[in-house]
Structure 1
Amino acid sequence: MNKVVVGLSGGVDSSVAATLLHNQGYEVAGLTLWLMKGKGQCCSEGMVDAAFICEQLGIPHHIVDSREVFQAYIVDYLVTGYSDGITPLPCSQCNKAVKFGPMLQYAQEKLGINKVATGHYARITYDEKIDRYQLRRAVDLSKDQSYFLYDLPQELLAAVIFPLGDKLKTETRKIAAEYGLKTASKPESMDLCLVESNGSMRAFLDKYITPQKGEIVDESGKVLGQHDGVHHYTIGQRRGLGIAAAEPLYVIGLDAVRNRVIVGTRDSAHKTECTVQKVNWVSITEPSAPIRAEVQIRYRSSATPVTVIPLENSRVKLVFDEPQFSITPGQAAVWYDGDMVLGGGVIEKGIGD
């Protein structure tokens, strides 16, 4: 019998993923990572719901205390990034370093199981010609999470199952209701787990970073106002600046060294290029020459045409066909060929006007 460990957060998606595999004849074990204390999925409340789902399905439930790993790879990572004036994206980092890697390691070493599954909306295919697993968008594009999964290496893609990749979210809810799952009507998790747990990202960061007042300046260095901490701002932000100006102003730079927030017009917040570091080539091997693709520079942004130019040391330069608004250092840039993830990495900086 095929065996699989399903990561259970206590939400409807992972619950249905476990149910589908169980009904397909897999020998399923549930695994919940205890990431932090508090409300929301991945926390105490999520563990209780995950345990209930395992009881409903008649499968074993394992809990792994991952709080130290989460603190090191996510909390410290975020605090360091915001302190340095960048806006890190924790989800892709969490998927690789905190969730999928440790889940597979636990499954193999403790349970003798070589497959893991989650409730993510994405798909994995295999190309025999190039002997490579390929990550693809979900059928439900409104729920597609491939953007957050770009950093998974081949050895993890080979071991992962995404049962919801070909499902619509409405189908997932329907399946949960049909099987009477406790999580069938559980509300969607709309924010980062840290935001859910702390009330806001600002509240979370203020626990670790002491707010320090500084200057808000324009591109020429002219002082326009005061801020209450660089870590409270992000590139592209318009609201909450507290500045009266003839036209709307946006955050276009964060200078953590000089403790300055730099603002400018919307036009000045557009960039024609950006550099990307820590690149993972997912579905193809690293090309030796520039390639054409479509890139997302934020989770909810539309994919836009781009030329991807490989550089040394796991870096690329992205040259956009049209200038892009709010290129944010620390966020992920993920490039696609149709529905296939070619690669992705962490934005270093935007270039050009």
Structure 2
Amino acid sequence: MNKVVVGLSGGVDSSVAAATLHHQGYDVIGLTLWLMKGKGQCCSEGMIDAASLCEELGIPHHIVDSRDVFQANIIDYLVSGYESGVTPLPCSQCNKAVKFGPMLHYATEKLGVTQIATGHYARIQYDEISKRYQLLRAVDRNKDQSYFLYDLTQDILAVSVFPLGNQTKEETRRIATEFGLKTADKPDSQDLCLIEAHGSMRDFLDKYIKPTEGDIVDLDGTVLGKHTGIHHYTIGQRKGIGIAAPEPLYVVNLDPVMNRVVVGSRDNAGKSDCIVSRLNWVSISEPSTPIRAEVQIRYRTSAVEVNVIPLLNGTIKLVFDEPQFGITPGQAAVLYDGEVLLGGGIIERD
């Protein structure tokens, strides 16, 4: 019988992933990572629901204290990013450094299991021509989470299973009901667990970063108002700037050295290119010549056509067919060829 360790958050998606594999005859072991220090729905309630699910299915349940790993790789990573004027994307970092890697290590070293599974909406296939595991978008484009998985390595993809990749969220709920799972009607969690635990990203950041007043200026440097900390702003932001103007103002730059928030028109917030570093090439090997692709620069945005130009230092330059609004340093730029995720990296500051 095939053994598999399933990451359980206590939500309906991971519950159905575990129940599906169990129904298919896998020897399933549940594993929950304790990530947050203090109370938080994503951890305290999640661990209880995960334990309850394992009891329902009659499978073992392990809890691993990963709070220090989460603190170092996510909390500290976020705080240092916002302090430096970028808007970090914690989810992809969390998947690689906190979830998949440690999950696989615990499964192999402690349990002697070489296969792991999660409730992510994405697909994996092996390409015989390139001899690489390819990461594909989920069938349900509205729930597709491949964007957050671009940093997974070939070693991890080779032993990972995504049971939900070929179904819709509605089908997941239906399966949960058919299995009689207590999580069948559980509401979806926030995209970011820190918001659930702290109420808002602003509240979370204010616990770690002392608000420091500075100027809000236009592109010419004219002072228009005051802010209480650049970590309260992100490029492309319109709401909450607090400046009256004849036309809507958007954040177009954050200057941590001068502690300034720079605002301008929507056109000022558009860019025709950007530099991307910390690349992880997933479904293809690193290109040495320019290629055409589609790129997604935010989780909730559509992919757009782009020229990908490799640079000498291992970074790439993206040249968009049309200028893009709100390209944000610290966020991920993830490259696709249709449904196949080619690779991705982090957008750099100018």
TM-score range, shorter chain: over 0.9
State the Cα deviation string for residues 85-141 of structure 1 (Å, max 9, x = none). 000000000000000000000000000000000000000000111110000000000
Instruction: Give the match for residue 142 of structure 1.
Output: 142
SS of the residue corresponding to residue 76 of structure 2 reads helix
SS of the residue corresponding to residue 346 of structure 2 reads strand
Letter in structure 2 aligned against 1:39 = G
Deviation (angstroms), 1:164 = 0.1
What is the distance in 2 between the residues matched to 1:130 and 1:39?
A: 43
- After superposition, residues 1-353 of structure 1 pair within 5 angstroms as 1-36=1-36, 37-41=38-42, 43-349=43-349
Letter in structure 1 aligned against 2:216 = I
What is the distance in 1 between the residues matched to 2:40 and 2:55?
A: 21
State the Cα deviation string for residues 6-31 of structure 1 (Å, max 9, x = none). 00000000000000000111100000
What is the distance in 1 between the residues matched to 2:160 and 2:313?
A: 28
SS of the residue corresponding to residue 100 of structure 1 reads helix
State the Cα deviation string for residues 223-266 of structure 1 (Å, max 9, x = none). 00100111000000111111111111100000011100000100
CA contact (8 A) 1:213 1:226 kept: yes
Deviation (angstroms), 1:316 = 0.6
Letter in structure 2 aligned against 1:38 = K
What is the distance in 2 between the residues matched to 1:349 and 1:74?
A: 20
What is the distance in 1 between the residues matched to 2:238 and 2:112?
A: 52
CA contact (8 A) 1:33 1:64 kept: yes
What is the distance in 2 between the residues matched to 1:86 and 1:324?
A: 18
What is the distance in 1 between the residues matched to 2:162 and 2:130?
A: 22
Quote the RMSD (CA, aligned, Å): 0.7
Segment drifting more, 309-318 vs 49-58: 309-318
State the Cα deviation string for residues 24-82 of structure 1 (Å, max 9, x = none). 111000000000132222x1110000000000000000000000000000000000000
What is the distance in 2 between the residues matched to 1:68 and 1:190?
A: 22
4+ runs of 1 displaced by more than 3 Å?
A: none
What is the distance in 2 between the residues matched to 1:240 and 1:109?
A: 49
What is the distance in 2 between the residues matched to 1:151 and 1:51?
A: 29
Percent identical residues: 72
What is the distance in 1 between the residues matched to 2:81 and 2:272?
A: 24
State the Cα deviation string for residues 262-311 of structure 1 (Å, max 9, x = none). 00100010000000010000100011100000000000101100011112
What is the distance in 1 between the residues matched to 2:312 and 2:233?
A: 31
TM-score by length of 2: 0.99
CA contact (8 A) 1:247 1:265 kept: yes
Deviation (angstroms), 1:313 = 3.2
Gaps of 5+ in 2: none
What is the distance in 2 between the residues matched to 1:4 and 1:35?
A: 21
What is the distance in 2 between the residues matched to 1:61 and 1:208?
A: 34
What is the distance in 2 between the residues matched to 1:275 and 1:288?
A: 16
Letter in structure 1 aligned against 2:143 = K
SS of the residue corresponding to residue 334 of structure 1 reads strand
Letter in structure 1 aligned against 2:4 = V
CA contact (8 A) 1:38 1:45 kept: no
Letter in structure 1 aligned against 2:261 = V
CA contact (8 A) 1:276 1:349 kept: no
Deviation (angstroms), 1:191 = 3.6
Letter in structure 2 aligned against 1:269 = A
